[in-house]
Amino acid sequence: MGQQPREQWGTRAGFLMAAIGSAVGLGNIWRFPYVAYENGGGAFLLPYLIAMLSAGIPLLILEYSIGHRYRSSAPLSYRRIYRPAEAIGWWQVAICFVVAVYYAVIIAWAVRFVGFSATEAWGNDTESFFMNDFIQVSDTPGAVSGFVSGVAWPLIGVWVVALVILVLGVRRGIEITNKIVLPLLLVLFGLLVIQALTLPGAADGLNAFFTPDWEAMLTGKVWIAAYGHVFFSLSVGFGIMVTYSSYLRRKADLTGSAMVTSFSNSSFELLAGIGVFACLGFMAANAGVGVNEVATSGIGLAFVAFPEIISSLPFGGPVFGMLFFGCLVIAGITSLISIVQVIIAAVQERTNLGRVQSVLLVGGATALASILLFPTPEGLHFLDVFDHFINQYGIALAGLVLVIFISWIARRLRVLEKHVNSVSSVSLGLWWRAALGVVTPILLGLVMWDSLRAELMSNYEDYPTGFLLAAGWGVAIGAIVFGIVVSCFPWKRADAIARADARQATDQDGDEPAPLAEPTEITETDAARKEDR
């Protein structure tokens, strides 16, 4: 099969829309408000901002620089930097597979709840409706015991939409989709927030959200929470931003793009916090309790608390519900296509398949796994454990290992800094190397240690040990093993297009990326390593 030309974004705005669309996901709406509330309220915004400047933006610039300089998927980009680092790329591919299979089902739930909102179909007991009537969750985790058609059909629809967008490609599919749906998301969510602010009790909710607890800032827990949330919020550690930036044109403002993406994502999170806590304030006032008694996050907030709020609204409940769940669908779809694109890009380079074949192979396998496992009574248990373990011991750990490889082992920060400075409006310097070489590894290490310590003290959510070993630790460790095993197989065909792209990415001072070997097998000689450094 002939070599496939590498795709490119049509415009810088298209890339920014896609990057922001990936970062703005379900977690912005249902995770950030509660994390901020639990960790000092308004006082949390200061550690959050410091975490963004000292770790979030530097990490984002790092991933942009790797993708733009080496113009390849995550595995091949890392391989060019340091041969053993290819395993990190395939590890991230496995992580993306796991995240995609359960992330899609949450979008499918939101699709159904758009329809449920029109008639407030959940009745008076929103929790029973969601758990028992809709997803029909089993009492205990275990092997799949049935099939829930009310979840399966919208899930199939979600995958059809996502795969059609991906088949159309980077420019005609991902870029155009984000250009349309991101402004729509902003408009819809803006309308939702405006309506929420008019509700009785909204001021109480905002006071709970913004009232600062300055003493909380003196505890390490708050700072760990800030750095942990920033890391998950910006879509770093998946290989997404490496993949997306590899489709940029030669001249690209990487630092400017990273700042625009970061602050756009943070602005949406703040807007989400205002909207969510205005609603929770109304819910608390309506029930005659404090905001602290109704504050929640995650699936419970979206599919239990919000339907209850919708039913309690004095007017416009159905419209409010359709706005909220419509926002979840849009935010989820833009993130889902970015996650699956990481896998597609890696498979395309490894197999030299075309776009359509790669999407059908990768997307078909991912969609099949999702459809077989999650529209079942046991689906919620699998989702909960997958999400917890792949986030804590997949995404975060892979990001930590990548930073250590780049800054301490391969020592490539100076080379990447030169590359970024040659194409960007804001130059990097010692602060960037210090942030990635010292601050980020230490703080990510603390996040990991804090999480692992809690994990070893008691079973997560009191799940049976056997289930956690299989669906939790087994999945997280399996992703690592997959990355190592796949990286051990030789590349049978050198990609001439990738070599040409690497030459185009040559720095102004003539420092080239590590050249690939000739077509028999991709290897690195000592001379190539020396030249690369």
On whether residue 216 sits in a domain, the answer given is: yes
DSSP, collapsed to helix, strand or coil, labels residue 212 as: coil
On whether residue 1 sits in a domain, the answer given is: no
What whole-number distance in Å separates Cα of residue 440 and Cα of residue 259? Answer: 17
Q: What is the DSSP letter of 505?
A: T
Q: Burial level of 434, CB count in 10 A (0-12/13-18/19+)? A: middle
Q: How far is CA 282 from the centre of its chain?
A: 30
On whether residue 10 sits in a domain, the answer given is: no
What whole-number distance in Å separates Cα of residue 284 and Cα of residue 61? Answer: 42
Single-letter amino acid code for the residue at 223: W
Q: Burial level of 143, CB count in 10 A (0-12/13-18/19+)? A: exposed
- Using alpha carbons, select from 400, 333, 245, 258 the residue that is nearest to residue 24: 333
What whole-number distance in Å separates Cα of residue 238 and Cα of residue 173? Answer: 21
Please check whether residue 77 is in contact with residue 246, taking contact to mean a CB–CB distance below 8 angstroms. yes
What whole-number distance in Å separates Cα of residue 32 and Cα of residue 29? Answer: 7
pLDDT digits (tens, 9 = 90+) for 218-245: 777 788 788 878 877 888 888 999 999 9
What whole-number distance in Å separates Cα of residue 61 and Cα of residue 428? Answer: 10
On whether residue 328 sits in a domain, the answer given is: yes
On whether residue 507 sits in a domain, the answer given is: no
Cα separation values, 49 from 7, 280, 315, Å: 35, 25, 37
pLDDT < 50: residue spans in the chain: 1-2, 496-497, 500-533
- Number of structural domains (the chain) is 1
Single-letter amino acid code for the residue at 350: R
What whole-number distance in Å separates Cα of residue 244 and Cα of residue 235? Answer: 11
Roughly how many angstroms between the first and final C-alpha of the chain, as a whole number?
33
On whether residue 523 sits in a domain, the answer given is: no
Cα separation values, 526 from 75, 320, 404, 499, 523, Å: 20, 62, 22, 18, 10
On whether residue 76 sits in a domain, the answer given is: yes
At 155, which CATH number? 1.20.1740.10
Residue ranges making up the domain that contains 28:
15-489
Q: Which residues contact 272 (CB under 8 A, 6 or more apart)?
A: 28, 29, 32, 33, 189
On whether residue 518 sits in a domain, the answer given is: no
Please check whether residue 248 is in contact with residue 68, taking contact to mean a CB–CB distance below 8 angstroms. yes
